[in-house]
Structure formats: C-alpha cells, structure tokens
Amino acid sequence: MSISERVDQIVSDFDQCESWEDRYKKLIQMGKQLPDLPDEKKIEDFRVKGCVSQVWLHARMDDHHRIIFEADSDAMIVKGLVAVLLQIYSGSKPEEVLATPPDFVQKLGFQQNLSPSRANGLASMIKQINYYATAYQALLSRTI
C-alpha cells in the first residue's frame, strides 16, 4: 500500500469520529497499540529534538530498501501521533517518503486542534522522518 493510500485510510478512520474528544480517544487507542520500543533504542541519539514530551524514533532499512520506523513516547496523545506517523511512513522507500508532503496533518485537523507544543512536536517528528529518508536515499545512491 502506498503512502497516499495509507493517508486516505487514516483520514477516513478519523473522519468517522464525531468530535475532537473522539479523535483524541482514537489517538490514545492507536498509541496503546504501538509496540514498546526496547530500552536500548530509548537513547539520546534517537530522541526527537523539538518535542516537549520524550519521543524516540529509530529507523532501519530492510532488504527491499524500505524504511522501517520504530518509535515510542512517554505521553499518551503524542504516542498516538507517533503511531499515525508510523502507519503512514513505515515500510516505504526513501524517495516515496521524501515525495510525500505532510498535508495529511491538515486533512486530519491536527494543525488546528493540537496544542502549539504538540503541533511543534509533530512537525519535529516529521522532520526527523525526512532526515532518515534523506540519509537512506543518499546511502542507496552510493551503493547502486
């Protein structure tokens, strides 16, 4: 499934929520379903700068040149935001990640309805995902 198809699915899922309280509940539920990140990956090197909450984001490339993201947070709503980002971006090739603007943030209403600190943290997480994609794309261009 492409990133745009995953975005459409998530937007559709959130559109079924009748209120922002329901959307927050959905985010919390998604965060609870996110596997815990092992303690050895909860280190400063993987911490997302610019987030008020603790957020760790780890990436690796699989044998098919897709980026597999793992992440965790110590805050429930932020962990839900992390879960949304992982559903959208994990399993994609670097060029697909870089070619997809984060317009889903607007479609989901996050920009308007998150607190400024959470919105800034979300932007920092997306920026970190793009840094990983840029690094892996550069690595691939040198090895091919």
> What's 48's DSSP letter?
P
* Percent of the chain topping pLDDT 90: 76
- CA R_g for the chain: 15
Reply yes or no on whether the pLDDT at 53 is more than 80: yes
Q: What is the mean pLDDT of residues 120-130?
A: 95
Computed over every residue of the chain, the mean pLDDT equals: 93
pLDDT band at 116 (very low <50, low <70, confident <90, very high): confident
Q: Is 51 a catalytic residue?
A: yes
Reply yes or no on whether the pLDDT at 46 is more than 90: yes
Reply yes or no on whether the pLDDT at 80 is more than 90: yes
Q: What is the mean pLDDT of residues 47-69?
A: 94
Reply yes or no on whether the pLDDT at 4 is more than 60: yes
d(CA 81, CA 140): 29
Q: Does residue 51 sit in helix, strand or coil? A: coil
Q: What is the pTM of this model?
A: 0.93
Chain position carrying tokens 């959208």? 88
Chain position carrying tokens 């709503």? 77
Domain that holds residue 10: 3-143
> What's 39's DSSP letter?
G
71 with 31: CB under 8 angstroms?
no
Element (H, E) at 70: strand 67-73
82: left (phi over 0), alpha (psi -120 to 50) or beta: alpha
CATH of the domain at 112: 3.90.1010.10
Give me the pLDDT at residue 137, please: 94
Closest CA to 89 of 136, 142, 46, 129: 129
Which of the following is catalytic: 10, 34, 48, 51?
51
pLDDT band at 121 (very low <50, low <70, confident <90, very high): very high
Reply yes or no on whether the pLDDT at 113 is more than 90: no
Which residues touch 9 (CB under 8 Å, ≥6 apart)?
A: 1
Number of domains in the chain: 1
Sign of CA dihedral 78, 79, 83, 86: positive
Reply yes or no on whether the pLDDT at 144 is more than 80: no
Give me the pLDDT at residue 95, please: 96
